[in-house]
Chains A and B, each alone.
Chain A
Amino acid sequence: MTDPGQLAGLVRAAQRGDGLAMAEVLDALAPAVSRWCGPIALQDADDAAQEALIAILRGLRGLRDPAALFGWARAIAVREAVRAARRAAHEHPADLAELPAHGDPTVAADVRDVLARLAPEHRAVLMLRDLEGLDEHSAAALLNIPAGTVKSRLSRARARFRREWQA
């Protein structure tokens, strides 16, 4: 794991076009990019993660604060993953009401199946809230939607999911 000071130096070198530094920034980001893209893009996640890395490396010159690397990269990766999932021909958007409750043991049986019933944007909300631990405001800002919408929809959807499961 690269320490923050060292990573900031690598980012600055990569911004100057140093290919080896770009490769090392890529190394540092790749596990997180895989984690961000997996739940959103599902079967298209490998392609989405590669596209996200390309967008991140190409956009690196525009990053003013190297300390903000991971938050900035996460927004790009989520956007690329949603785009890849929407592009996929086999996409079947489902209603947000199917969102599972956080920590619901029934979800562990097959997370991928549950996620596949959701629209990519909804998978993004779920990943940001429950995997990344973002609050509603941060998730809403990253996804460019109102915070209140994120909160109310998640709340209603989880309640409905539990009711339907128990019916």
Chain B
Amino acid sequence: MNWPVAELDTIRRLRALAAAVPGAFVAETTLDAPFDQVWAVAADLEHELPAYLPDVRSFTVTRRDGERLQAHARGYAGLRANFDIVLRPGWCVMRSRFLLGGLAAVPDGQRTRFAFLGGVHIPAQRAVAPALTAFGNRAAPRVLSRFASRVHQRPPGPAAP
């Protein structure tokens, strides 16, 4: 007996994660590029994160063990943070002491659905969650636009390791 099974793709999972973290937000778009081309940009954290996240000056991977990575980020406003990361095709979650980030991509024919998650861990997180979400929702279109530009500038090829 073959029972029906629900489909929980990575974007649905990212939405669920964002809904459970006070103040987190998810922004989604559909890119006119195949999955491999999109994920080549998403997975190339060292080179691409500083290109599409406005506040990140550098992002250096310091350790790589299968799908688990560690990285050190530097921002233009003096931000320095170490990130623990889980990265695999179509899914990336990054967590520092104060920040949570996520990327998800799902093939949609020759196009790709892409989602970006942002959030923070701070002491008064629940109290300021609505303001954080509103801020994130305002900033998200710019991030998605810059990400799309990076995808379209990048020639099709294998994803970064």
Residues of A bordering B, CB below 8 Å: 17-20, 22-24, 26-27, 30, 33-35, 37-39, 41-42, 45-46, 48-50, 53-54, 57-58, 60, 103, 107-108, 111-112, 115, 127, 130-131
- The secondary-structure label for the interface of chain A is helix
**Residue interface bits B91-132, CB-to-A below 8 A is 1, else 0:** 001110000101000000000000000010100010000000
Q: Is the CB of B8 within 8 A of A33?
A: yes
The residue on B at minimum CB distance from A42 is B4
Chain B residues in the interface with A (C-beta under 8 A): 1-8, 12-13, 15-17, 19-21, 24, 84, 86, 93-95, 100, 102, 119, 121, 125
Q: When A17-B121, A49-B12 are in contact, do A54 and B6 touch as well, CB less than 8 Å?
A: no
**Contacts A20-B86, A20-B93, A35-B5 hold; do A50 and B121 have CB atoms under 8 A apart?**
no
Specify the chain B residue showing the minimal Cβ separation from A17: B121
| Measured CA separation A87–B2 after assembly (Å) | 25
How far, in whole Å, are A30 and B2 apart by their CA atoms in the complex? Answer: 19
Determine which of B6, B15, B94, B102 lies in contact with A37 in the assembled complex, contact meaning CB atoms within 8 Å.
B6
CB-defined contacts of A107 to chain B, threshold 8 Å: 1
- Given A19-B119, A57-B17, does the pair A108, B1 have CB atoms closer than 8 Å? yes
Contact (Cβ within 8 A) B8 A49: yes
- Chain B interface, >50% SS class: mixed
If A23-B93, A23-B102 touch, whether A34 touches B6 (CB-CB below 8 Å) is yes
Closest chain B residue, CB of each to CB of A19: B100
Question: Which residues of B are found within 8 Å of A24, using beta-carbon distances?
Answer: 86
List the A residue with the shortest CB-CB distance to B94.
A20
Q: Return the chain B residue nearest A50 by Cβ.
A: B12
A57 CA to B21 CA, complexed, in Å? 9
Most chain B beta carbons < 10 A, residue from A19, A22, A48: A19
Give the residues in chain B near A53, CB-CB below 8 Å.
Answer: 8, 12-13, 16
Complex Cα distance A60/B100, Å? 18
**Other-chain residue from B3, B15, B20, B102 in contact with A35 (beta carbon distance below 8 A):** B3
B13 engages A111 (CB within 8 Å) = no
Q: List the A side residues contacting B21 at CB < 8 Å.
A: 17, 19, 22
Q: Would A19 and B17 count as touching, CB distance under 8 A?
A: yes
Per the bound structure, the CA–CA distance linking A60 and B102 in Å amounts to 20
> How far apart are B21's CB and chain A's nearest CB, in angstroms?
6
Contacts of B20 in A (CB 8 A): 22, 54, 57-58, 60
Contacts of A23 in B (CB 8 A): 13, 17, 86, 93, 102
Task: Tell me, rounded to whole Å, the shortest Cβ–Cβ distance linking B20 to chain A.
Answer: 3
- Closest-by-CB residue of A relative to B101 is A19
Q: Which residue of A lies closest to B117 (CB)?
A: A19
Contact A20 B95 (CB under 8 A): yes
User: Of all chain B residues, which has the CB nearest A131?
Assistant: B3
Smallest CB separation, A155 vs chain B (Å):
19
